[in-house]
Amino acid sequence: MNNDTKLCPYCKEEIKADAIKCKHCGSMLTDAPDGGMPSDPETPVRNALASRFEIISEIGRGGMAVVYKAKQRNLGRIVALKVLPQQFTHDKEFLDRFHREARAAAQLSHPNIVTIYDEGVENGVHFISMEDLDGVDLHTLIRQKAKLSVEEAVGIVVPIAEALGYAHERGVVHRDVKSSNIKVTGTGRPVLMDFGIAHAASGTKLTRTGTVIGTPEYMSPEQAEGKEPDGRSDIYSLGVVLYEALTGRVPFTGDNPISVVNKVINAQPTQVRQLSANAPDWIGSIVERCLAKRPEGRYQSATDLAKELALDKSLDKGQRATETVRVSHSASGVGSQLRPLQRSVPQRRLLRLVIFALAACMVVTLIILAGRILGHNPISVSSDATIARYVGARLQIVFSAQEVAAFDKEINSYKILLESSPHNSILYNNLGVSYYQEGNLDSALAEFRKAIAVEPRNSMAWTNMGVAWEDGG
């Protein structure tokens, strides 16, 4: 930082020394002379919400809201309290949309989407209360580390992509996906925050000619052009987040929002590989597709993006060219292609075992009969044992080593996918199918139970568990 810049007293980002508004968080700086904090910025909020919440401290602010740590008095729980600044409360259309979007977001229930407890207005203060998350936002984490490893980046982005896919299937578009809206908790759980606020502001008197709602560095080209965004706009923004995590910088920067918007619409970003030598080509290709200028060139669903990221993470370079794991995400349901059990593989194995055992017994019987006819017993105790060992060895290798290795590879792939998507019921179901086809009924049943625990409505997992129970006697 030099004499021409200073730190925003609210978000601590670097801004121009003569700025009166922070370009990062949107805070007006006129109330903080000499770069200092206002004496007690939460006093009006504290007084207005005193009957419902005890304000503890301010924990963050953005262009559309201020967030406080507070205690909900009637339940005694700690919450994050998002409050609209007073300058936004004079636009009735915006307020109506703000609360409507908050109610829509409150209907989302996903482990990687922040849980909204309540929304409303109290003494003129409009608020949303939600779960208070420990940890650090992804933007701060990237600044602390300079850049993340591929494994770290994918481990964060895959669950967020799954969360977006879940929301999109229910008609909810985020519209402001960025690294500062992703919190990584102390247990490593990535959580997407701030659904609906950018949507609430669009189309109201808050939007004027030549201005856009959102964060320029992360918005899609169609958003920058003022067009109506859809789920593919969120995919673009998540691609920017992945680019930032891998390289330590966003694809486009500029001296002012207009120059950034112009680059978003017209310029091509520097390739990931040029900024991060350790990033493999496959992840650079995924980022490039996410950042396609036209929505048609991107992934058409966030679940498709999550699947490809998780799959490529699970495969080495040799496998990546030829291997596909049989788990494709669908546009509806819990997120993946259900795999029903096929009895044919175990039944063929059992039939082959029985045929071989019968043939071996017939050979031994014929040898014994021939020996008795000739007046002596050609089968000694030691040779009996040898034949028994031979039969046992043949029974163990009836299935080719190649076939066993294929099942092991598939099982390992599902296990790796589950490391990034531990709440995916379909992955547990499909892992159970793989165990069943390998003949491991106990493990298959365990995975079907996990699938049902995550998603009790997973009818295929219920059916598969019944088949496995029946075959297990």
Please answer whether residues 436 and 321 qualify as being in contact, where contact means their C-beta atoms are separated by less than 8 angstroms: no
d(CA 379, CA 365): 10
442 included as an active-site residue:
no
Burial 232-255 (b: 16+ CB within 10 A, else e): bbbbbbbbbbbbbbbbebbbbeee
Pair 439, 349: CB distance under 8 Å: yes
CA dist., res. 112 & res. 86, Å (int): 30
Amino acid at 204: T
Ramachandran assignment for 203, one of left (phi > 0), alpha (psi -120 to 50 degrees), beta (any other): left
Integer distance in angstroms from the first to the last C-alpha of the chain? 72
Q: Output the DSSP codes for 20-88.
A: SB-TTT--B-TTSGGGPPPS-TTHHHHHHTTTTEEEEEEEEE-SS-EEEEEEETTTTEEEEEEE--GGG
Q: Which residue in the list 176, 194, 234, 304 is annotated as catalytic?
A: 176
Q: Which tokens go with 187?
A: 């247990």
293 neighbors 221 (Cβ within 8 angstroms): yes
What whole-number distance in Å separates Cα of residue 98 and Cα of residue 119? 10
C-alpha span between 50 and 334 (Å, rounded): 41
Helix axis angle for 381-396 and 344-373, nearest 10°, is 160
Paired with 127 in beta bridges are 83, 120
The residue whose two tokens read 């200073």 is 6
Do β-strands 190-192 and 182-184 pair in parallel, antiparallel, or remain unpaired? Answer: antiparallel
What are φ and ψ of residue 460, in 5° steps? -65, -40
The span from the CA of 295 to the CA of 440, in Å, is 44
Residue 243 CA to residue 233 CA, distance in Å, equals 15
User: Among candidates 111, 141, 140, 115, which has minimal Cα distance to 128?
Assistant: 115
Active site residues: 176
